[in-house]
Structure 1
Amino acid sequence: MTSFKHITVNPVAGALGAEVSDFHLGDVNEDAFQEVRVAFLEHQVLFFRDQEITRDQQKAFGSRFGTLQIHPFLQPLKNEGHPEFILLYSNAQSPYLAENWHSDVTFVQEPPLGSVLRCVEAPEFGGDTMWASTYAAYDALSDKMQRMLSDLVAVHDTVRSFSRPSYDTAGTGRQPPPVMSAEHPVVRTHPETGRKGLFVNTTFTSHIKDMKPAESTALLSFLYHHMTTPDFSCRFRWRPNSVAMWDNRCTQHRVVADNKTANRRMERITINGDRPY
């Protein structure tokens, strides 16, 4: 494990995840930032506490990793001058979003590099987020399974998410958004670390190309179950002004929907990535 001079990094689980202290996202020293980059690639998801930052500061921090994505469907703060932000909120009237394991926006040709999520309001208990390492999931497979998966391509689309008939159109007379889709390798090579990880998820992956439906369903079901093995995961309890930053190229995540009546509000920016190979 790398040692650092300008920040403190404490792992939270064996597979992935580390809490970073002695670092403030709104006042970034270049030497400290370069260590954060190293920690990000090493631990896959980083957690920062007590980050009282503005939206502009959050965007400025994310922009140091790459250009920011404007989501093709979700731009709730566009009229406030922040089209890059996505809001994740829930309360007694609005159910949790993102309860299923997923990587973000894999239905585009160049899925995100990662995201920076800040907690604005957290429940007294519950509403944690979990992450899983797709590196660890891949490494745990047999050599024969790894070889079989190496040539497979999966189709990712919005049929079951943003383009489903019931998505935010009930009673409005609006048509659901058109379907977006992309093809990606089932096993992805990380462009910076060179490590391999599984790149399918329950929310956006439709099927494995050139397989019969029953074959695709059986294989994907195995992979989905395998990737949620507890040994590959970590869990984070939110407090206001906590921030999580994760590598979308080698992780999946989900919210734990265990306190559905409490108020919970998160604000997320997403960093553009490259085409998986």
Structure 2
Amino acid sequence: MRDHRIPDDGIYEGVRVLRRLPEGVEERPYGLFELEPLARTIGARVHGLDLSRPLTEALRTELNRALLEWKVLFFRGQHLTSRAQRDFAGNWGELETNPLLATGDDKETVRFDKAEGTTPTFENVWHTDVTFRERPAMGAVLQLREVPPAGGDTMWADMAAAYDNLPQDIKDRIDGARAVHDFIPGFSRFYPASRLAPFQDEFPPVEHPVVRRHPETGRKMLFVNTSFTTRVVGLDRDESDRLLRLLFQQAHVPEFQVRHRWEAGDIAFWDNRATQHYAVNDYAPHRRVAERVAIAGDRPF
């Protein structure tokens, strides 16, 4: 046989470990709504709820269990007002502002108003929101106000599945490792230095574990992303770059993903601790308008 070695540090064909629930957690039905799974480990559509109505504690508890189990939940045709969207997100904690992004009707609502020729802002890249903060967002609630006739989908990747499928030698290397996160690399793709410089003191580089544990489920999850993770602490630049390239690739595995085709008024609610997402910019020359409310999170461990 001729030499058939393939390059190291890639993504290879073969069976994937696709474990949706933490070990020891049993499947249970939902009693207050109907849930439609969209992929093996991530993504489910929730039927039978009007999110403009206040949540009972029982409903909030069951929705939180669904979020932990499926990582991103979709609700068709809600058409929430900005206040109702904020009120729904507020059931999960304090809301977070982002001075680097355009706002909607209030400072807690980010508006992504995209038409041909506008600034792309975190489209066409896999990322986890605001990992450059000491306490990255716990989650986010996104609503599409205006949808292009084709394109403009959003994808999410399950970073617990991404960790589960790493080779054991890579797991051994990164368990306990820490990485630096910085807002400048991600935002400098579309903002000039003059726009970013005033925020350098407000958002200094921070360190987070390369593998974080989910504070509610205890699962290990890969916690690095292309937009904000700059280096692995303690490694020289070449070794750090090579390791990060391998880890960044894991979000690209289709078996770890779910893809949502938007309709106006749809809501997506995702666990930012456990996922990455990718907004697909393939809809020019049409317009796409989305509004997002982010929920403040905790310090990764």
Match of 1:58 in 2: 85
Q: 1:254 aligns with which of 262, 278, 282?
A: 278
User: How far apart, in 1, do the equivalents of 2:196 and 2:95 lie?
Assistant: 28
For 1:68 and 1:45, locate their aligned partners in 2 and report how far apart those are by CA, in whole Å: 18
Q: Answer whether contact 2:119 2:190 (CA < 8 A) is retained.
A: no
Aligned mate of 1:7, from 33, 46, 70: 33
Q: CA deviation at 1:177?
A: 3.5
Give the TM-score normalised by structure 1: 0.93
The letter for the 1-side match of 2:177 is L
Partner of 1:178: 199
Contact 1:91/1:264 (<8 A) preserved: yes
Q: Secondary structure at the match of 2:250?
A: helix
Q: Which residue of 2 aligns with 1:143?
A: 168
The corresponding residue for 1:91 is 115
Q: How many residues align?
A: 270
2:95 is paired with a residue whose SS is coil
Offset at residue 248 of structure 1 (A): 0.5
Alignment match, 2:11 = none
Match of 2:257 among 218, 224, 233: 233
8 Å CA contact retained: 1:166, 1:176 = no
Unaligned runs of 5+ in 2: 1-26
- Which shifted more, 50-59 or 122-131? 50-59
Counterpart of 1:22 in structure 2 is 48
Quote the offset at 1:23 in angstroms: 0.9
Whether the aligned pair in 2 keeps the contact of 1:95 and 1:260 (CA below 8 Å) is: no
2:128 paired residue among 88, 91, 103 = 103
Q: Is the 8 A contact 1:186 1:198 kept in 2?
A: yes
- 1:45 is matched with 72
Distance across 2 between alignment mates of 1:147 and 1:177:
39
Task: Give the equivalent residue in structure 2 for 1:264.
Answer: 288
Q: Which amino acid aligns with 2:42?
A: L
Sort the Cα spacing of 1:113 and 1:73 in 2 relative to 1 into closer, same or farther, 3 A: same
| Partner residue, 1:221 | 245
User: Could you tell me the percent identity over the aligned residues?
Assistant: 39
Match of 1:130 in 2: 155
Q: Structure 2 counterpart of 1:178, which letter?
A: F
* 1:82-130 superposed Cα distances (whole Å, 9 cap, x missing partner): 1101111211221533220000000010000000000100011100000
